[in-house]
Chains A and B, each alone.
Chain A
Amino acid sequence: MWSGCCGCCSAFRPRYKRLVDNIFPVYPQDGLVKSNMEKLTFYSLSSPEKLDRIGEYLYQRAARDIYRKKYGFVVIAMEAMDQLLLACHAQTLNLFVESFLKMVQKLLESTEPELQILATQSFVKFANIEEDTPSYHRRYDFFVSKFSAMCHSGEKEEVRDKIRTAGIKGLQAVVRKTVSDDLVENIWEPVHMDKIVPSLLFNMQESGFHKKESEAIDGGQEDTLDPPMLAETCMRELVGRASFGHIRAVLRPVFRHFDLHKLWVPNQFAIHTFRIIMFSIQAQYSYTVVETLMAHLDDNTKSSPTIRTNIAGVLSKIIAIAAGESVGPSVLEIINSLLSHLRDSVKNEASQTEEKEYQEALINALGEFANHLPDYQKIEIMMFIMSKIPFPLVNNNSPADNLLQSILLKSLLKVGTKYQTIHLNTTFPVSFLEPLLRMSLAPDPDMRLLVQKILHTLIDRHNNLEKLSKPTVNVADLDLVLEKSSRPDLIFINKHGPIIYDALYTSLQIDTNVPDNIEAVYTTLALLCVELACAETVIDLLQLTLGIQSLALNSTSLSNAQKFNLHAIVISLLMLIPTVVNIQPLANYAAQIAEQRKQEALHLLPDLYSHYSDNSEVANKLPHLLVDQMAVCEYVKESGIDPSRLQQTSPYGAGGPGLIAGSQRNSWIENGARGSIIELPIAEVDSAASSPGVQKKHTEEDLNFESMKKVLTEPPEIRKEAEAERRKMLSHTFRTATFSELVRRTQPKHDVLQSKLNEIFKSLTANENRSPTDEKKEDIIPHYEQNFPELFYY
């Protein structure tokens, strides 16, 4: 078609063609003829209407030269195009740009790496200029496809990195060019994102850089970056530009890439990538990433626990970043989702070690998340978790239920350890404290232990926990940190002391306790003593200590070992109390008993064991080694504290029913914990419809307690009437209200978070196997009613 000889006929050719021809030297290695290029530029500026024809002509020349493999001339043509593009004014560029891009594409289509790289550079220049009128018909399909392919270049080493770098820069340029105007090209369409994202990830994963994290980031100039670093930069930019509607478009291919490339196990690269995403995403959307990760856990329910553990591991590494940004409902949704995953995992009957690891990873994620929330939200979360623990805590729960209960308690403990108590009354709102105490009486010893641990971490404000973890009579060695208790604390303990002490006392009555349980109760009491040291609480604590001693002396259900354990914590407490609130005579008295026991009865001192030698004398036969109530009163009085309450009948009657009934103790525990939580349905004794299989383990004590109280307090007919009335009311309420509503009803003030919580809980209970609402459906209301009578005492 072409003569190849340009000069000969130049006189008859249009001026613009001659100007273009003249920029080409005879030998390509001489490069662009600069002076003639200036002329061409000047001409283009003064006759902008010719610009598009100049572009078209340059393109044709380049296409021909590519065909003839005269690459030197191609380079010159491209250079000329670049210069014109930059020199000319925006409003005249439109048609020229079409030729320009055709030329870029032409070069990209060649198999020559050098031309591809050159074309990319030109494209980047183009992407950086502002066009006045965007060309709505222009499509970037080809460029995205080609640049993505270049990102995967398989050429030989040096060339390969250059092409890959070019590919990444090209993608970056397309994104920059299109991102501001969806009408030009919606770069967020899957057709583009599904190419761009894997291409960037492929390059990011190509080096071990994510292992040497520390030296990364400083990066420097974009052109000195290697493909992995550049890809990372580009990824940050992409994620940073994504608005809410586009986040998922970016995330979807990320997940697919990680699945297909099996990049979850091990998960360093996944952690690295998701960190990058979290740090570059617009903060208000970071929650979406967390949400998507959790949804991915859902998608992987059938995958191996190892994969899930690793995904959960990624979650725990990034969830903290989201915590700072999450507000209200999204916080609870995250928690809720984590809890659901835990529950699902528990349902995987065979909980092998991998599944356990997965649960641990989830609990860790939960803890990490909570750790970065403000304290007031931690309380909400603890209450929320509590609300998820399946009731009732009875012995015949399925293993899955038990596991779920203990896993939820572990979660609670995790959150609890991240929480720093300032005032006890803010840490323990009634609606949190009461269920917690109820759970401290669960039939399962491990669960009781967990609850005590939760109490420990929440009560301990002065890092005394470690020191008080074991009972001891060497209090002076403990080096306890003491601080005078504040007024709010005193108000708190005045108000709630009775139910706390009662729950602790009651839990000591349980015959399945092992030394760990008894020690844990001691620790709780000791921490309370240290945190609330003052004259008023001293009497309560002494009263309780004496109560524990009489329990040890009088109980018919506890083993000898358990009784010895109790005596050991009694003396430990008696040593601790007067040291904390300086009552020297009492301290001397306690020391004297301890010393005597050391001589005569080591088994009545710490440490606690589950077995003692057969010749250990029961304490009843060693009255001189016991703590004497009168003596205690005396010493307290000596120090100027009024002992009158100590002298009154003790509320802790060692199980003696008459004593309890006669006491002024809080009715909550009487009806709740004592009656129905430990050994579930006491009053069901007279209910023929008691659920089958519920193991009734009531002791005589309990039976007597319930019945005798009523006998003592009400004439029979009235009792029956009241009973029926109450039943009616209860069943009505339970038929019409969900558990969460009940909880809410009992708590007059709650914020938005709380009601959101209820809402979520409501939706969840619907599919919970053994949730209270389900039981309601199953028409065993009396059974249920027995478990929650205390709801009506709030």
Chain B
Amino acid sequence: MDDYKFLFKVVLVGNAGVGKTCLVRRFTQGLFPPGQGATIGVDFMIKTVEVGNEKVKLQIWDTAGQERFRSITQSYYRSAHALILVYDISSQPTFDCLPDWLREIEEYASSKVLRILVGNKIDREDREIPENVGEEFAERHNMYYLETSAKESDNVEKLFMQIAEDLMKQARTRDLPRYDSNNQTIDGRTSTINDSSCCSRLQ
């Protein structure tokens, strides 16, 4: 029921209005929220998923895109296992800002963080960024790439599930031995996927 073996922290970043909050709500609550206000600061949701036979808890942090909240949002990059960088395929400016976001990620996030580029709103007719442009950008910067629609629920599940699987793989190959032996936590349920103290060990 609420028994999980891995806890991963996922942080979404990107310009305001690209659909970060909608992606999170779609994935965790299965809905496309009508007209909610812009996110202030940070917010988080959880969802427990199953990978293989293991329960994996995803702690998904949704951040405000506006610059003025950068002082608080940046502080959440550090402990992220995965960073989803979102832009809106129907808005060139949101794509043009990607290098700035990458700079920030470079500065504040762990170097081992899993990075995914997401082009959202593919349901829209007025696409401005062709798929291959987004893909090339992702490739150049060593990121996974996926196009989604929070509205139509396209690829949203896939996005988070792939992240969970990937992080699981990482965790197993890199840290699982240690997890089994000396890194046993109090209730034996949580693992860290790298040797930083990213994971809360309270669960």
Tell whether, in the assembled complex, residue A260 and residue B186 are in contact, meaning their CB atoms are under 8 Å apart. no
Whether A139 touches B2, Cβ cut-off 8 Å, given contacts A154-B43, A262-B68, is no
Distance from B63 Cβ to chain A, minimum over Cβ atoms (Å)? 10
Interface assignment of B15: CB less than 8 Å from any CB of chain A: no
With contacts A101-B202, A105-B203, A137-B201 known, is A111 near B45, CB below 8 A? yes
Interface residues of B in 115-156 (CB under 8 A from A): none
* A153 contacts the other chain (CB 8 A): yes
Q: Does A275 contact B (CB under 8 A)?
A: no
How far apart are the CA atoms of A191 and B74 in the complex, in Å? Answer: 10
Is B186 a contact of A137 with CB atoms below 8 Å?
Answer: yes
A141 and B197 in contact, given A98-B187, A98-B202, A146-B44 (Cβ under 8 angstroms): yes
The interface residues of chain B lying within 8 Å CB-to-CB of A199 are 41, 72
Q: Which residues of A contact B97 (CB under 8 A)?
A: none
Docked complex Cα distance between A102 and B186 (Å): 12
A109 to chain B, nearest CB (A): 5
Name B6-62 residues within 8 Å CB distance of A: 29, 37-46, 61
Q: Is B5 on the interface with A (CB-CB < 8 A)? A: no
For A137, the chain B residues whose CB sits under 8 A away are: 185-186, 201
Q: Is the CB of A142 within 8 A of B72?
A: no
Measured between alpha carbons, how far is A257 from B43 in the docked complex, in Å? 18
**Do B75 and A138 have beta carbons less than 8 Å apart?**
no
Which B residue's beta carbon lies closest to that of A64? Answer: B1
Nearest residue, chain B, Cβ from A160: B40
Considering only CB atoms, which chain B residue lies closest to A111 in the complex? Answer: B45
Residues of A within 8 A of B1 (CB): 1, 63-64, 67
CB interface residues, A 312-339, toward B, < 8 Å: none
Closest residue on chain B to residue A145 by CB atoms: B76
B79 CB → nearest A CB, Å: 7
Q: Is A594 an interface residue (CB 8 A)?
A: no
On chain A, the residues within 8 Å of B37 by CB distance are: 154
Contact with B along A105-132 (1 / 0, CB 8 A): 1100101000000000000000000000
Inter-subunit contact B41/A151 (CB<8 Å): yes
* B72 pairs with A202, CB closer than 8 A: yes
Residues of chain A from 1 to 20 with CB closer than 8 A to chain B in the complex: 1
* Cβ-based interface call for A195 (8 A): yes
Question: How big is the A interface, by class?
Answer: 35 or more
Indicate if the CB atoms of A195 and B76 lie closer than 8 Å: yes
Docked complex Cα distance between A145 and B72 (Å): 10
Partner of A141, one of B39, B72, B79: B79
Question: How far, in whole Å, are A194 and B70 apart by their CA atoms in the complex?
Answer: 11
Q: Would A261 and B68 be within 8 Å (CB), given that A106-B2, A139-B200, A191-B78 are in contact?
A: yes
A657 within 8 A of B: no
Residue of A nearest to B44 (CB): A149
B67 adjacent to chain A (CB < 8 Å): yes
Which of chain B's residues have a CB closer than 8 A to the CB of A202? 41, 72
List, in ascending order, chain B residues with CB within 8 A of A102's CB: 202-203
> Taking the nearest CB of chain A, how far is it from the CB of B46, in angstroms?
5
**Contact (A260, B68) CB under 8 Å given A191-B75, A199-B41:** yes
The residues of A that contact B2 with a CB separation of less than 8 Å are 63-64, 67, 106
A773: chain B residues at CB < 8 Å are: none
* Contact across chains for A145 and B202 when beta carbons are under 8 A apart: no
User: Quick check: B70 and A260 within 8 Å, CB to CB?
Assistant: yes
B40/A154 in contact, CB under 8 A: yes
Q: Which of B38, B67, B201, B203 contacts A260 (CB 8 A)?
A: B67
Q: Is residue A256 within 8 Å, beta carbon to beta carbon, of the partner chain?
A: yes
A643 at interface, CB cutoff 8 A? no
In the bound complex, CA of A151 to CA of B69 (Å): 12
Residue B71 lies at the interface, judged by CB distance under 8 Å to chain A = yes
The answer to whether B44 touches A261 (Cβ under 8 A) is: no
The complex places the Cα of A151 from the Cα of B71 at a distance, in Å, of 14
A676 at the interface (CB under 8 A from B): no
A257 touches B71 (CB 8 A): yes
A152 and B71 form a contact (CB under 8 A)? no
A578 within 8 A of B: no
Nearest A residue to B7 via CB reads A142
Cα A262 to Cα B75 with chains together (Å): 18
- B37: nearest chain-A partner, CB-CB: A154
CB of A148 within 8 A of CB of B44, answer: no
Q: Is the CB of B72 within 8 A of A152?
A: yes
Of chain B, the residue at the smallest CB distance from A141 is B200
B197 touches A139 (CB 8 A): yes
Q: Nearest-CB distance from B60 to chain A (Å)?
A: 11
Please tell me if the beta carbons of B79 and A191 are within 8 angstroms of each other in the complex: yes
Contact in complex: A109, B202 (CB < 8 Å): no
* Contact residues in A for B39 (Cβ distance below 8 Å): 154
Looking at the assembled complex, report how far the CB atom of A623 sits from the nearest CB atom of chain B, in whole angstroms.
79
CA distance A261 to B72 in the complex (A): 11
Asked if residues B46 and A109 are in contact (CB atoms below 8 Å), the reply is yes
A-side contacts of B201, CB under 8 Å: 137-139
Complex Cα gap A256–B73 (Å):
12
Q: Is the CB of A253 within 8 A of B71?
A: yes
Residues of B within 8 A of A154 (CB): 37-41, 43
- Which one of A109, A153, A194, A257 contacts B40 once the chains associate, using CB atoms below 8 Å? A153
Bitwise, A78-112 to B at CB < 8 A (1) or not (0) is 00000000000000000000100110011001010
Complex CA–CA separation, A733 to B74 (angstroms): 57
Which of A64, A146, A260 is the one whose CB lies under 8 Å from B71? Answer: A260
Hey, which chain A residues are within 8 Å of B46, CB to CB?
109
For residue B69, which residues in chain A have a CB less than 8 angstroms away from its CB?
Answer: 152, 260
A198 within 8 A of B: yes
CA distance A198 to B72 in the complex (A): 6
From the candidates B29, B45, B186, B197, name the one contacting A98 in the complex (CB within 8 A): B186
CB atoms of A261 and B202 under 8 A apart: no
| Docked pose: A138 CA to B185 CA in angstroms | 10
Chain A neighbourhood of B64, CB < 8 A = 152
A148-B203 in contact given A194-B75, A260-B71 (Cβ < 8 Å) = no
- 0 or 1 for each of A144-175: is its CB under 8 Å from B? (1 = yes): 01101101111000000000000000000000
Most B-side CB within 10 Å, residue of A102, A146, A260:
A260
Closest to A63 in B: B2
Instruction: Tell me whether B200 and A142 are in contact (CB under 8 A).
Output: yes
Chain B residue, CB-CB nearest to A153: B40
How far apart are the CA atoms of A198 and B70 in the complex, in Å?
10
Q: Which of B46, B68, B72 has the most CB of A within 10 A?
A: B72
The distance from the CB of A66 to the nearest CB of chain B, in whole angstroms, is 8
Are the CB atoms of A149 and B200 closer together than 8 Å?
A: no
Q: Would you give the shortest CB distance from B71 to chain A, in whole angstroms? A: 4
Chain A residues contacting B61 (CB-CB under 8 Å) are 145, 149
Which of B40, B67, B201 lies at the interface centre, i.e. has the most chain A CB atoms within 10 A of its CB? B40
Q: Nearest Cβ distance between residue B187 and chain A, in whole angstroms?
A: 7
A152 x B41 contact (CB < 8 A) = yes
Min CB distance, B76 to chain A, in Å? Answer: 7
Chain B residues, Cβ within 8 Å of A101: 202
Q: Chain A CB within 10 Å — which of B185, B202, B203 has the most? A: B202
In the assembled complex, which residues on chain A have CB atoms less than 8 Å from the CB atom of B202? 98, 101-102, 105, 138-139, 142
Query: 6 shortest A-B CB distances, which residue pairs?
Result: A152-B41, A194-B75, A142-B200, A154-B40, A257-B71, A198-B71
Interchain residue pairs with CB less than 8 A apart (19): A64-B1, A139-B197, A139-B201, A141-B197, A142-B202, A148-B41, A148-B42, A152-B41, A152-B72, A154-B39, A191-B79, A194-B72, A195-B72, A195-B75, A195-B76, A198-B71, A199-B41, A257-B71, A260-B71
User: A152-B41, A154-B39 are known contacts; what are 4 more A-B pairs with Cβ within 8 Å?
Assistant: A111-B45, A191-B78, A194-B72, A260-B70
Interface residues of B (CB under 8 A from A): 1-2, 29, 37-46, 61, 64, 67-72, 74-76, 78-79, 185-187, 197, 200-203
